[in-house]
Structure 1
Amino acid sequence: MPSDLRCNALLFAFSAMGVLAIVSGSSKLTNASEPPNIVFIFADDLGWGDLSCYGQRRIKTPNLDRLARQGTLFTQFYVAGSVCSPSRTGIMTGQSPARHRIFGHLANRESNQRRGMPDALDPDVPTLTDVLKDAGYVTAHFGKWHLGNVSPDQYGVDAFRTDKFCNVAGKQAIDIWSAEARPVCTANILDATLDFISEQSDAPEPFYVNAWFSDPHATLNPSPDQLDRVKNLAPQGVPFPGVAQVYYACVLEMDRQVGRFMDRLEQLGVADRTLVLFSSDNGPEDFQIRNSAHSGVGSSGPFRGRKRSIYEGGIRTPLIVRWPGHVPAGKVNRTSVISGLDFLPSLAAIAGASADAVSDGDGEAMDDVWLGADRERRTPCFWEWRYRVFGHPANKPPQLAVRDGDFKLLVNPDGGRVELYDLASDPGERDNVAANHPDVVQRLTRMALQWNKTLPDSPRDPGAGMESWRWP
């Protein structure tokens, strides 16, 4: 379709529906007599470049590297938001988090009200766990929640032990934030997950589990043994650990626990009939944030930006998908752009859920890509960030972004500060080529600004969208 017609068609969809609700046709589940069990492991503030299978050279992550060898590694996966709650909302709803007024992280009521946000994701909104439960799955959630002050059972979750809620008999909410709990928080989350899977391993119904970590989100407190595993990163001549040592001690412990978890799935006899997905909710935190002053050196790989930024480093994160006999083993997909908004329609297709359940989504069914197809994305991806971005001025983007094909455009809501990048040749977003492609700038700017008009309004930080420094 010519670019101007494509843009006009998109704008018509916006005006008619008020949302981008595109769910592309997906391939039917092949070579399977029954839907798989599904486990989604979600790390917290882990950067694209923090795993050795993604190019990290300071440490080795052998267990996540093994997961990648047994499945497919995707290099162009994007979360729907550059911080925790928006990213998780996108996974759970398949819709842009701003549609639900979740513009930033959910906090206390005063903070939420000041930013025009609710105290929780609306429980009347259909979620991934609702859809899979309706399709016959037993659903569970263990670990971090960060979708607000409403219990997970209101979102179609059967069993849960989070940092705030618990309905498992004889158990309590999992402590994932205290200094004492931090060295074992990932182990405790996966232990709770394994307890549930052990109970379900012989059940006739398939299971779906969210295992959402708090590692390596600050504040971190690795044990002496964990620090000793990365003593090569310790500073010389002083008695305290280094910043990289603290951070990567926790990454290594997370990797070790994922390996233990996968080994236990083998022992339970469910590994080959379980689809395992691993990702991270946003890019790595910056050391200028106080709680990460001792650890904020996670790697966004070759990309510009970190957590909060809608440059690549804040929103592009690892994605590894493993399902023996269905997902190609040892493959690296560098072609397909995948969004966190795609999880709901893709998993619904794999689970055999009704198409009606995903008809109002903003994502695209990419299950065919997960199962081995190499194709380009058919729909654009959008992001927004209304607040300050910390760290180096180069990491501070305009407030809106859209990616369509290889081009990504960033712009402020007033149409100013236009930046255009060809990510195929410039994934680091260093060369603004807006002057060379006025037709692309015009088309993508119209798309971004029209999309922004469909979103709820809210207070914005005065410094949002500005790349500034206080010069002397």
Structure 2
Amino acid sequence: MRSRSETRPTMNRRDFLVSSLTVPALRAQSRPPNVLFILADDLGWGDLSCYGNQRIKTPNLDAIARQGTLFSQFYVAGSVCSPSRTGFMTGRFPARYRIHGHIATEQFNAQRGMPNFLDPSAPNIARTLRQAGYETAHFGKWHLGHGQGALLPDAYGFSHHKTVTSNETRWQEQGPGFRAKSTAWMVDNTIEFLEQNRSRPFYINFWTLLPHATLEPTEEQMKPFERFRPNTREHRGAAQVYYASLNDLDTQIGRLMKRLEEMDLARNTIVLFSSDNGPEDIHISNAVHSAIGSPGPFRGRKRSLYEGGVRVPLLARWPGRIPANRVDESSVLGGVDFYPTLSKLAGLPAPAGVDGEDVSDIWTGASRPRRKPLFWEWRFNIAGYNVNRSPMLSMRDGDWKLMMNPDRSRVELYDIPRDPMELNNQAAGKPEVVARMSAALLAWQKTLPPGPVEPAAGRNDYPWPRPAQ
């Protein structure tokens, strides 16, 4: 290697050309990364072909997995919509904001001791990035506040937004065909935003309505799934409707990914795909189609704190930074990690007071144990089969997952890597683990704002599996 004194003082034509090509590349690298966060609604861990679903192909989401990393042990902060979204945005467990269930009518919220909207003063990733010079946009489902007094996304740091399940009137559901077209409309609006803001770093929430009930795909969307059509007068099988909707979601995401490539934005854009909770339960009145969703091999569905209710897909892609063709089956990650992690990757200081942790090293290829435990609370009854009715409190720390009620009833301890289906309760044989984790779990619950609890919460009249005699 030449020393500095040995280099030539002049630059020949070849060196000039190389330098000319390199400078823009360095400038592009110095620009902070863009972020596109795609969030499905009620999509289960086992719904994508890259997660093992053999009934449907999801080629565009599979491509994101191939071009990036698929995480197997990713947990959202809640087992329903609003809590999970609160965790993604704020990096804090949603119960800290009294968001225990989905934000609904004012009367229903009051009965459950919940606010009508997320506190707009809560620090969140959108406001942090906007203050750092990002353009920020939210397209699609909001569900962090609607009804009297609820503010629009701009109060939370979004410079652009078109939303549903909010107080916004520009883009609400219009008639029976809305959901079949909703993802395409979201893509159209996102592309328009990209074309207008491509010269600046951007953060986009692309939060879809699919595959949440009620599903109503068009006949054209259902044609590729004729094999699922039942031999009945209705001619609309639940599987046909569900997979048609999921296929449209995948197709539209593919259209958005293609446009990112065409605009030369893909190389410096972190693409994240996940879901807000596990799949819907068939016992919900309008969910006959959405209940086809798969939690994979796990016990539990939406509303449950068992794995199937809170463990969902996470795909992460950032060419050259997040390893491609990687499946991470060991790292335990949470939705509350998004805020501190994206702050780090954007070159910003760590946000204060968050429950999540910076896992940027894991996203970019490292392997290490999680430093902070994950906690959940569910204060309500759980619809559906008794096997899915979990205790009220849950905690994941290392390989262990502890579940219990606040009165210490229904203590369940599972070694998740070795017992992912949560069939072998080891509480009786691991008293020291139960003692350590229960102390931490109950101490965490005491830090939460008090509120009402449904009488049936945490109840299990017919234990399953049955305790050993």
> CA-atom RMSD, angstroms?
1.6
Moved more, 156-165 or 64-73: 156-165
Determine whether 1:45 maps to 2:42.
yes
Query: Does the Cα contact within 8 Å between 2:212 and 2:290 map onto a contact in 1?
Result: no
Cross-structure match for 1:26: none
Determine whether 1:446 maps to 2:447.
no
Determine whether 1:387 maps to 2:380.
yes
How many residues are treated as equivalent by the alignment? 432
Query: Does the Cα contact within 8 Å between 1:42 and 1:280 map onto a contact in 2?
Result: yes
Cross-structure match for 2:261: 266
| Cα distance, 1:462–1:165 mapped onto 2, change above 3 Å | closer
SS at match of 2:330: coil
Query: Does the Cα contact within 8 Å between 1:51 and 1:61 map onto a contact in 2?
Result: yes
Offset at residue 236 of structure 1 (A) = 2.6
Spell out, residue by residue over 1:24-48, the C-alpha distance to the aligned partner (whole angstroms, 9 max, x if none): xxxxxxx942211110000000000
Cross-structure match for 1:156: 157
Query: Does the Cα contact within 8 Å between 1:285 and 1:296 map onto a contact in 2?
Result: yes
| Cα distance, 1:256–1:415 mapped onto 2, change above 3 Å | same
Cross-structure match for 1:409: 402
SS at match of 1:334: strand
Cross-structure match for 2:100: 103
Matched to 2:157, the amino acid is G
SS at match of 2:30: coil
Query: Does the Cα contact within 8 Å between 2:143 and 2:166 map onto a contact in 1?
Result: no
> Which of the numbers 73, 76, 79 marks the counterpart of 1:79?
76
Determine whether 1:247 maps to 2:248.
no
Spell out, residue by residue over 1:304-360, the C-alpha distance to the aligned partner (whole angstroms, 9 max, x if none): 0000001000000000001111110110011111100000000000111123xx111
Matched to 1:459, the amino acid is P
> Which of the numbers 356, 364, 370 marks the counterpart of 1:371?
364
> Which of the numbers 169, 173, 185 marks the counterpart of 2:170?
173
2-structure distance, mates of 1:396, 1:239: 33
Offset at residue 135 of structure 1 (A) = 1.7
2-structure distance, mates of 1:176, 1:278: 24
Offset at residue 81 of structure 1 (A) = 0.4
> Which of the numbers 309, 323, 331 marks the counterpart of 1:328?
323
Matched to 1:398, the amino acid is P
Determine whether 1:310 maps to 2:305.
yes
Spell out, residue by residue over 1:242-296, the C-alpha distance to the aligned partner (whole angstroms, 9 max, x if none): 1111111111110111111101111111111111000000000011101112431
Cross-structure match for 2:467: none
Offset at residue 125 of structure 1 (A) = 1.0
Matched to 1:152, the amino acid is P
Query: Structure 2: where are the runs of 5+ without partners?
Result: 1-27, 464-469
Query: Structure 1: where are the runs of 5+ without partners?
Result: 1-30
Over 6 Å off, 4+ runs: none
2-structure distance, mates of 1:406, 1:134: 38
- The structure number with the bigger radius of gyration is 2
TM-score by length of 1: 0.89
SS at match of 2:286: helix
Matched to 1:137, the amino acid is Y
> Which of the numbers 423, 427, 430 marks the counterpart of 1:430?
423
Spell out, residue by residue over 1:353-412, the C-alpha distance to the aligned partner (whole angstroms, 9 max, x if none): 123xx1110001001111111112111110110001111100000000001100000000
Query: Does the Cα contact within 8 Å between 1:164 and 1:173 map onto a contact in 2?
Result: no
| Cα distance, 1:448–1:178 mapped onto 2, change above 3 Å | farther
Cross-structure match for 2:332: 337
Query: Does the Cα contact within 8 Å between 1:179 and 1:220 map onto a contact in 2?
Result: no
SS at match of 2:408: coil
Query: Does the Cα contact within 8 Å between 1:346 and 1:367 map onto a contact in 2?
Result: yes
